[in-house]
């Protein structure tokens, strides 16, 4: 059933419409006039949805890792690995857009005292280890088994680093962390919501699109290897 979704076009067109909407209206929509943030708040349509996209793809990676461990079918390992790859890519884009935003609002590309930035970097490192682990095995079965188990640990660590530790910190520059009010409570007005929610689904769709291509390429490679 999941394989069928990879070949359907409705979500591709939905992604295109949502991202066009985001990239056009994101620059035109009326925003709340907030000190320091000012026009940079438009980065909310890029930076935050990219992280949501990463979370969604990593969640899919975790689900397919669990499914693989339940029945040891290699195709689920292919799904898990490729969703993690694109999730990592979206996370990197999230960090880069965050750095640009930090430079504009906080005056530095990277604030070393900021818990969430460091936690985000650590979360990406946890997933880097996943790819290193995968590349260290020659036997495909061991590679799939070990990386599926590690994937569970990686996802738990990822959620702890991104969502738990920053909230426990006593001070943070990020909204919604270290006692700061979140965007929801005072900044995210209805004009922003009109673009923000489509942006979330649009970036998730783009991540899914990239993953679907990697997965299909992986299946083609495997078939060619079998033929040889």
Partner 1 sequence: MIRIILLSCAFMLSIAPAMANDNQVVNLLLSNNKLIAVNAILLIILVGVFVFLFSQDKRIKKLEDKVK
Binding residues for partner 1, rule: CB under 8 A, are 12, 16-17, 19-21, 23-25, 27-31, 38-39, 191, 209-210, 213, 216-217, 219-220, 223-224, 227
CB of 131 to partner 1, least distance (A): 22
Distance CA 185, CA 176 (A): 9
CB of 74 to partner 1, least distance (A): 16
Token pair belonging to 160: 């702890």
Nearest of 212, 179, 191 to residue 44 by alpha carbon: 191
Considering the complex, what minimum distance in angstroms separates the CB of residue 4 from partner 1? 14
CB-nearer residue toward partner 1: 24 or 113: 24
User: Quick one: 115 or 192, whose CB is closer to partner 1?
Assistant: 192
Q: Apex CA 213: angle with CA 208 and CA 214, to 5°?
A: 95
Tell me whether residue 39 or residue 141 sits nearer to partner 1 (CB atom).
39
Name which of 142 and 213 has its Cβ closer to partner 1. Answer: 213
d(CA 91, CA 111): 18
Would you say 124 and 94 are in contact if contact means Cβ atoms under 8 Å apart? Answer: no
Looking up tokens 């292919």 gives 78
Smallest distance, partner 1 to C-beta of residue 94, A: 17
For residue 219, how many other CB atoms are within 10 A of its CB?
15
Tokens of 155: 């996802």
Nearest distance from residue 72's CB to partner 1, in Å? 24
**CB closer to partner 1 out of 103 and 191:** 191
Q: Is residue 125 within 8 Å of residue 88, measured between CB atoms?
A: no
Query: In whole angstroms, how close is the CB of 39 to partner 1 at the nearest point?
Result: 6
CB-wise, 20 or 152, nearer to partner 1?
A: 20
* DSSP per position, 28-61: HS-----TTTGGGGGGGGTHHHHHHHHHHHHHHH
């Amino acid at each position: 059933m999941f394989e069928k979704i990879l070949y359907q076009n409705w979500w591709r067109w939905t992604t295109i419409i949502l991202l066009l909407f985001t990239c056009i209206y994101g620059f035109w929509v009326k925003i709340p006039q907030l000190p320091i943030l000012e026009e940079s708040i438009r980065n909310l349509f890029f930076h935050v949805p990219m992280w949501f996209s990463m979370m969604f793809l990593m969640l899919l990676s975790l689900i397919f890792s669990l499914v693989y461990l339940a029945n040891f079918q290699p195709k689920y390992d292919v799904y898990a690995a490729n969703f993690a790859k694109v999730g990592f890519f979206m996370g990197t884009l999230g960090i880069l857009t965050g750095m640009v935003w930090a430079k504009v609002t906080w005056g530095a590309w990277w604030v070393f005292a900021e818990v969430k930035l460091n936690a985000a970097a650590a979360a990406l490192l946890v997933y880097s280890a996943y790819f290193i682990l995968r590349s260290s095995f020659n036997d495909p079965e061991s590679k799939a088994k070990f990386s599926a188990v590690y994937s569970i640990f990686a996802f738990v660590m990822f959620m702890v680093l991104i969502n738990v530790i920053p909230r426990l910190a006593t001070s943070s520059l990020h909204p919604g962390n270290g006692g700061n009010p979140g965007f929801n409570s005072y900044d995210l007005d209805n004009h922003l919501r009109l673009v923000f929610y489509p942006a979330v689904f649009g970036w998730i769709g783009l991540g899914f699109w990239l993953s679907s291509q990697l997965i299909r390429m992986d299946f083609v490679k495997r078939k060619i290897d079998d033929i040889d």
